[in-house]
Amino acid sequence: MNSYSKKYKNSLFLILLFFSLNLHSQYSIKGKILAKSTNEVLPFANINYNNKQTVSNNNGYFKFKIKDNHLTLKISYVGYNTYTLDTFFNSNEINLGNIFLNENSRSLGEVTITSGKYRKLIKDATISIESIKPKFLENNNTASFDDILEKIPGVNYVDGQANIRGGSGFSYGAGSRVLVLINNLPALQFDSGYPNWENIPTELVEKVEVMKGAGSALYGSAAMNGVINILPIYAKQKLMIKVKKFYTNYDSPVDKQKQWWDIPPNKNGASLVIAKKIKSLDLVGSIYAQKFDSYKEFCFNNYIRGTLNLKYHLNNSLNIGVNTNFNKGKKLSFFYWKDAGSGAYRADSSAYAGQQKQIHIIDPFLTYYSKRGAIHKLLTRIYLASNLVSGDKSNRSKSYYGEYQYQKQFAQYDFTITGGLTATLSNTTAELYGDTSYIAKNLGAYLQLEKRFFNRLSLVAGGRYENNTIKGPKIIRGKDISAKYIPESKPVFRFGMNFKVFKYTNFRASWGQGFRYPTVAEKFTNTFSGSLIILPNPDLKSESGTTIELGLRQGWKLFKITGFADISVFQSKYKDMIEFHLKRDKKGFFFFSADNIGNTIIKGIEFSTGFKGKIKNINLGFMGGYLKIDPKYIDFTDEIRGGSSVDYNILKYRYKESFKFDLQLEYKGLNLGFGSSYNSFMEAVDKAFEINGLVLKGVKKYRQEHNQGNNIYRLRFGYSQKYFSIMFNIDNLFNKEYSVRPGLLEAPRSFTITTMNTIE
């Protein structure tokens, strides 16, 4: 063997020895993070190890490798005390087992994910957030989600339309400036921009978060006025079964001439919920059914809804799953009354509309957790809706939605990046839109950055770019509109800051742009209901706006009670705002149509507060809020004045003031609750509604006699144990006669008894 060969072998031996030692010095660390109080896993916890970072996956599991046997570990999770470990190892495979985190008793804030698509304390958010817990929904016997909207501070609900801080009026079931999410996916029917409230599985709701202000930069077009995010329950190790039954009876109205029934109208229903972790499979499912014989003559609403959510953990880094929802039902309703007297709960035959609906929603998804702590999500939705409505108002739509989302939190730098791509395709065939077909497409990209400095100051910057296209027939009502199908693209941005002034005092400021493309329904609806005629407007343009807010949130703790007080001032400016209003053609023919009404401004102030805790053996909870707005046209023209029921400058279909509260007391299983929702008088509506006989009868006189606003009270009491509860609710406690929009009277006093059996 020559010297060269010896040198070669020696070198090869040294290289192999080096790699062998290097590989041998790799230490593998793994563990699982759980909440000590509940023994449930804590997903997406921040893990800092030897100045590197990762996150726990959706099962609370983590695994990483280090090069030497010295480990410095820090695990943090919002609302929990930080776990730290500094140690040396003698083994190459280290299993830390279950790591339990204790809840932070000094943390006074609720947790939100809506403001940034990740967990953070509400007090640290740069925009106003309202959080509604499931106990509130259960206590108020929420069968359909729209039942609860009018009880949320800062939110109003007008005949199917939700608006936040007066950002919307009444839009006849088409278009929304408030985006509704179910488990972070859009719940609006794409062609109409309208949520099917009855399709939301309220029996599975874990929490509701309301983001107030422009959310377009993060969530897109429909979030111009805010976001309502509905978060469902998740499967746990223990089997959970809930069976709920309710029966509602409606009282006679105060004005006996309005009562048409001999047997009281009623509504009854039942739901079944099952949730369980089965090895690597998470299963959550429910069935809900109701039968409603309405207080409106001849009207009914009967349907059944089923939901099944499945998630399978392929390994510790990858989850796949599918969420499904099915809703089928029949109903008969009317759009406006026969008159304001004995016909208030009746309608002319031409105003009735029967509906057979069938909705299928399928949401396949995939989530991947990288070794370096990044989260990759692929969210998709197939939305199939069939609404067969009498009077040439039917529509059928197929919508497809996809979103790729990337997020990473750099805990050592207090920095978070969130970005994604979205795509929506909708195909609609509808008699409602002129008995023809439309194809709508939307593509978007968004990015949001958040940085925290000195554990006091948080800064947020984000942006979004979207492209929207609608294609349809060339000829509508004898006119060539092929040139009207112009693709639109718009960028929007948002900036925000939150500064911790003192330990429990946070100041926030935000500036956000919003935009909204008109929906197919707003541009092309061609229908009627009795004498109310709605015609298409292919010239309708998109609307845009800017919202600024300054807010202060103060947390407090007194003995075993924790609470907060929050005050904010805000201003929203809208350009080319879209609203329905009365028009008149050259021949003197009156009709309603969506139109760009010009530029508007809404200024306001909001105060909200809440607390929870215990005094001796009594558990208490309270939430409430007061809102005052000044909604005006920037350009108040004679044309606008002529279409309004008042001759001064105020936007139509707004309440200038609202006040809401809810108080809950519990003592050894006994429950008592009391609440109220107050809205001031709706000063301005369409003038046509007050011209007797033009569209509706008796509206002007009714509004003159009921011009002091509405204060509706509710009372509840009951008893609950671990496995059984019974609740008795009285809504509209003092049997107030009231209306939230012209030509439709709301329900008289109702009595509901609810029972629930739980197996865990």
Whether 19 has a pLDDT exceeding 50, the answer reads no
| Domain assignment present for 217 | yes
* C-beta atoms surrounding 347 within 10 Å: 25
Percent of the chain at pLDDT exceeding 90 = 38
Is residue 60 domain-shared with residue 118, that is, in the same domain?
no
| DSSP secondary structure of 710-755 | EEEEEEEEEEE-SSEEEEEEEESTT-----SBTTBPPP--EEEEEE
Residues 178 and 305 in one domain: yes
Instruction: Name the DSSP class of 371.
Output: T
Same domain, 576 and 702: yes
CB neighbour list of residue 354: distance below 8 Å, 6 or more residues apart: 330, 331, 332, 389, 390
Do residue 498 and residue 519 come from a single domain? yes
- The order of strands in the sheet holding 52-55 is 52-55, 46-49, 70-76, 83-88
Mean pLDDT of 69-87: 81
The mean pLDDT of 575-579, rounded to a whole number, is 88
Q: Beta partners for 332? A: 300, 354
- The answer to whether position 8 is within a domain reads no
Other CB atoms closer than 10 Å to residue 40's CB: what's the count?
13
Residues shown for the chain = 760
> When comparing pLDDT for 649 and 526, which is higher?
649
Provide the pLDDT for residue 432.
59
The rounded distance, in Å, linking the Cα atoms of 752 and 731 is: 8
* DSSP single-letter state for residue 510: E
Q: Is the domain of 139 the same as that of 88?
A: no
- pLDDT range class, residue 342, cuts 50, 70, 90: very high
Q: Which residues contact 461 (CB under 8 A, 6 or more apart)?
A: 448, 449, 450, 493, 494, 495
Look at residue 116 and tell me if it is in a domain.
yes
Torsion angle in degrees (nearest 10) through CA of 424, 428, 433, 435: 160
Q: Which residue has the tokens 């805990």?
A: 411
Do 53 and 119 lie in one domain? The reply is: no
Is the predicted pLDDT of residue 495 greater than 90, yes or no?
yes
Residue 662 to residue 715: CA distance in whole angstroms: 10
Task: State whether 396 and 475 are in the same domain.
Answer: yes
Residue range(s) defining the domain that contains residue 48: 21-101
Instruction: Give the domain-ending residue among 56, 82, 101.
Output: 101
Average pLDDT (247-272) is 95
**CB neighbour burial string for 214-247, b if at least 16 within 10 angstroms, e if fewer:** bbbbbbbbbbbbbbbbbbbbbbbeeebebebebe
4-8, 395-399, 519-523, 642-646 — which one is most confidently predicted on average?
642-646
If asked whether residues 47 and 79 sit together in one domain, one would say yes
The domain total for the chain is 2
Question: Which of 254-263, 295-304, 480-489, 520-529 is the least confident region?
Answer: 520-529
Domain boundary among 101, 127, 162: 101
Whether the predicted model's global pTM rises above the 0.75 cut: yes
DSSP 8-state class, residue 202: G
Over the chain, what is the mean pLDDT?
85
Cα–Cα distance between 616 and 639 in angstroms, integer? 62
What's residue 672's pLDDT?
A: 95
Domain CATH for 495? 2.40.170.20
With a pLDDT cut of 70, the percent of the chain lying above it is 92
- How far apart are alpha carbons 174 and 189 in whole angstroms? 10
At 607, is the pLDDT very low, low, confident or very high (cuts 50, 70, 90)?
very high
Structure token pair of residue 121:
């304390």
In a domain, 14, yes or no: no
As to burial, measured by CB atoms within 10 angstroms (0-12 exposed, 13-18 middle, 19+ buried), residue 328 is: middle
Residue at 5 is within a domain: no
Between the CA of residue 575 and those of 171, 215, 484, 530, 650, what are the distances in Å?
17, 16, 20, 33, 16
Task: Read off the pLDDT of residues 307-339 as tens digits, 9 standing for 90 and up.
Answer: 999 999 888 788 999 999 999 999 998 888 899
Confidence of residue 21 (pLDDT cuts 50, 70, 90): very low
Same domain, yes or no: 464 and 488: yes
Q: What is the C-alpha to C-alpha distance for residues 676 and 711, in angstroms, rounded to an integer? A: 7
Residue 7 has pLDDT above 70, yes or no: no
pLDDT at 655: 93
Query: Domain check: are 570 and 686 in the same one?
Result: yes
Give pLDDT, residue 13.
Answer: 53
3-state secondary structure of 184: coil
Q: Which two tokens stand for residue 197?
A: 């409230």
Residue 256 has pLDDT above 90, yes or no: yes
Looking at the fold, whether 416 and 458 belong to one and the same domain comes out as yes
Per-residue confidence (pLDDT) for residue 106, from 0 to 100: 55
Please say whether the beta carbons of 101 and 85 come within 8 A: no
* Closest C-alpha to 300, from 327, 328, 326, 334: 334
The CATH number assigned to the domain holding 70 equals 2.60.40.10
Of 542, 703, 655, 684, give the one whose Cα is nearest residue 163: 655
Last residue of a domain, one of 55, 81, 101: 101
Cα 515 to Cα 134: distance, rounded to the nearest angstrom: 32
For residue 266, pLDDT beyond 70: yes
Residue 741 near residue 227, CB atoms below 8 Å: no
Report the distance separating Cα 625 and Cα 618, nearest Å.
Answer: 23
User: Of residues 8 and 152, which shows the higher confidence score?
Assistant: 152
Which of 54-68, 309-323, 333-347, 672-686 shows the lowest per-residue confidence on average (mean pLDDT)? 54-68
User: pLDDT (tens digit, 9 = 90+) per residue, 155-167?
Assistant: 888 777 888 888 8
pLDDT top residue among 630 and 557: 630
Q: Is residue 738 part of a domain?
A: yes
**Residue 1 within any structural domain of the chain:** no
Asked, for residue 642, whether it belongs to a domain, the answer is yes
690: which DSSP letter?
A: G
Instruction: Using pLDDT thresholds of 50, 70 and 90, give the confidence band for residue 18.
Output: very low
What pLDDT does 716 receive? 94
Task: Return the structure tokens found at 369.
Answer: 């957790």
Would you say 209 and 129 are in contact if contact means Cβ atoms under 8 Å apart?
yes
Beta-bridge partners for 368:
318, 376
Q: Is pLDDT at 587 greater than 60 in this prediction?
A: yes
For 129, the token pair is 């957030």
Amino acid 390: pLDDT? 65
693-716 per-residue burial string, b: 16 or more CB within 10 A, e: under 16: eebbbbbbebbeeeeebbebebeb
> What integer is the mean pLDDT of 607-630?
92
> How is residue 136 annotated by DSSP?
H
Residues 545 and 633 grouped into a single domain: yes
